A and B are shown apart, each in its own frame.
Chain A
Amino acid sequence: MNVQAEARSERLEERVYRPLTHTSRGWYLWLGLLALLTTVGFFAYATQLQKGLASTGMRDTVIWGLYISNFVFFSGVSMAGTFISAILRITGAEWRRPLTRMSELTTVSALLMCGLMPMMDLGRPDRIWHLLRYGRLQSPVVWDILAITTYLTASAIYLYLFLIPDSAALRDRLGGKVSGLRHKVYTLLALGWQGRPEQRRRLERGAAVMMLLIIPIGVTVHSVVSWIFGMTYRAGWNSTIFAPYFAVGALYSGVAMLIVLMFVFRRVYRLEEYFTEKHFRYLGYMLAAFGVLYLYFTFAEYLTVAYKLQGGEKLLLEELLLGRYSLLVWGGFFGGQILPILLVALPWTRTIPVLFAASVLVNIGMWIKRFVIVVPSLSLPQLPYEWGVYTPTWVEMAITAASFGGFALVFTLFTKLFPIISVWEMKEGWEKEGLRALPATAPATGGLAARPALLTSESGGASHE
């Protein structure tokens, strides 16, 4: 390896290992805020345990509310992370390298929150073990439990596999700089990794299996989530395209979440050299592609219903498009679907801050979409009785806020223990690049690390294709 390449590796290590040993006051402030959110969430849940679900806004007509909306939202976010990481690895897209760890972590973190939500929603959380004791495979609820636990296990393994070499590096590097316990944890996680060829071979084989497995598992998760609704007779839910519709929506909102996270980490940990304009652009293209696909599904779903105007479907559609949900529906449609796609499609708005803003819009829009799928179909009366009304209470809002806080907390703590960029994979990429293009093209010298990568977009982040 030449001098430049070595300097490049060192710069990366210096940058991504820094948060592991140096803690700023801002980090503590942020942690405090998240701790506050989760504490309020715990308090809200304690209230709910004490008073029962009567402390929520749910009642006999609208039987599900924020919890189930969050559940669908987080399962969507979770699907994209590992899924995209696996697809990019399989297709050998070199630009994936700085993104994989973050996307895999997104899946794990979102799935934890996703799995928590139905538990918050149970009328009898004390009987949750009944699911193990009496579980029936015929129930969509059990499909969900199986799919989510499988996906969580698989994506945790997947995340961990690629963490082994980095743990070994931390074990070798951070001895003495971190507490003895933490050093022991790194040693334990490294599994005696020395980077020997046969170790590499084994890791590669394991990773290849996981990559292929994780894609169908990811698809099952969001499919069975949709079947919680699709297996009923309700207007708006009684649809055959729900599984692919939800899966595409999941990829759409998941990619948006990745862009948001990329933007945040780029800012906070000064990773401009690695999360380059190109990464934003490429993920932006993905976002737009999934967005257009999602538009197509939305169109197909609503057209087939609107054309026939069957019984309850007519009443529901009127409420959605013209009635009391119309603001949410149209706001979500234009703000969360049309506008973000336009922002990516138009070359002059395709900048990092605008892509970030578009992704935030997508996330909000998709959350609204989840809410609009769950609540209106439930508030529609099944027989000629009055429409259901649903106003979430502070308990539900606090638990919702805490779930987003928990999602962020997983990232906050993880990045204190492990680098958010997979260092060894970056190096592997550079090695490949060096082998392919000898002599290695030297990046512009001097002060590059401090310069925003936008200006030298192709130099960093193993962006060779």
Chain B
Amino acid sequence: MDQGPGKARVNRRQFLKLLGTVGAAAAAAPLLPSLLTKVGVVAAQGSADESAPRRQWAMVFDLRKCEGCVTTDKPPQCIEGCNTEHFVPKGQEWIRVFEMEGAAGHASFFPRPCMQCENPPCVNVCPVGATYRTEEGITLINHERCIGCRMCMAACPYGVRVFNWGDPENPAGATFASYSPQYPVPHRRGTVEKCMLCAHRVKDGKLPACAEACPMYAIYLGDFTQDIATNGKEVVKLSTFLADHSAFRLKEDLGTRPRVWYIPGHGQEYGHDINETRQPKPARTWQELGATLESPHGGHK
């Protein structure tokens, strides 16, 4: 343990210490980009002091329960719930549902919101800091600052971001709605849009609109600080839920560290036939669903 002066040998503890330093340095290296963005470091540590963020949001998609709403014969309800909640401009889908072919050749559905990456490429490349990550782990866009260069769209490896190429249609009275990055209404021309995990809803303890609209309860909102997740019907322990079901993240190898997890499946819990070729129906816009500012989900649900 104690080492006499002049002894040049490295003992076990020193060796471990050295290993630890090297390890910490190696672990810190990938953090560098997020360090540069000024946010995310605090979020990653999750310390217990007062100023620490209360939440570390996550989403879990249980693909065993997702069948693209084909058995209900409706368009994917998550998309429609999102459309009406945010008055998503025509031609955009902030959450998309893809039909994927699994390795065994079977059909499965794959809903894709914003991944809320911990190392968000979009935030890294923004020239004006218009897109940023909150301490609670949501990537937001300040539409009053965005200059519309679309560098973030080029950088996003998940194709999440969409653009208002022309003048987006807003609901009546939206001009007077109080805009915030958490609830970006009215929508503006020449700015980038995307899913923001319903920041305006989750802060009040509500589920995101897509999770609330999902008739199969396939979408969970999770919080890593409390280690819980819920789909509105049941509450699960987030860490065990992910581990027990071999949850995965999209394009894990890129090192973006998404906060959105998927539990592998193909809608089997709702009896979705893997050979079924039925496509999800196209989602209706908020106009078609009759959403208004006063009652966003008016004609819906």
Contact = CB atoms under 8 A, between A and B. Distances in A.
Provide the main secondary structure of the chain A interface. Answer: loop
Interface residues of A, number: 42
B166 A123 contact: no
A236 to B, nearest CB: 12
B215 interface: no
Given A52-B166, A138-B124, A233-B254, A382 B148 contact: no
Interface in A31-61: 51-54, 56, 58-61
Interface of A: 51-54, 56, 58-61, 63-64, 118, 121-124, 127-128, 130-131, 133-136, 138-142, 145, 228-229, 231-234, 378, 381-385
Interface centre among B126, B149, B167, by most chain A C-beta atoms within 10 angstroms, is B149
7 contacts: A123-B189, A130-B147, A131-B127, A134-B145, A136-B126, A136-B127, A139-B126
A232 B155 contact: yes
Contact of B153 (A56, A63, A128, A130): A63
B92 interface: yes
A59 B98 CA distance: 19
Given A52-B189, A63-B153, A63-B163, 9 more contacts: A60-B162, A123-B165, A124-B148, A131-B127, A138-B37, A139-B128, A232-B121, A233-B155, A383-B158
A54 to B, nearest CB: 3
B154 A142 contact: no
Contact of A378 (B36, B37, B154): B154
Contacts of A64: 150, 154
Contact of B191 (A124, A145, A378): A124
Contact of B190 (A53, A136, A142, A229): A53
Nearest to A140: B125
Contact of B165 (A54, A136, A138, A234): A54
Contacts of A121: 149-150
Interface in B2-61: 36-37
A231 B163 CA distance: 21
A52 B167 contact: yes
A392 B189 CA distance: 20
Interface string B145-173: 11111110111111100111111000000
Given A233-B254, A384-B98, A122 B92 contact: no
A59 B125 contact: no
B298 interface: no
Given A141-B125, A228-B151, A123 B159 contact: no
Contacts of A234: 154, 157
B158 A124 contact: no
A79 to B, nearest CB: 22
A60 B92 contact: yes
A365 to B, nearest CB: 24
A446 to B, nearest CB: 62
Contacts of A53: 148, 163, 165-166, 190
Contacts of B154: 63-64, 228-229, 232, 234, 378
B266 interface: no
Given A63-B154, A134-B128, A124 B37 contact: no
Contact of A231 (B148, B155, B165, B166): B155
Nearest to B96: A385
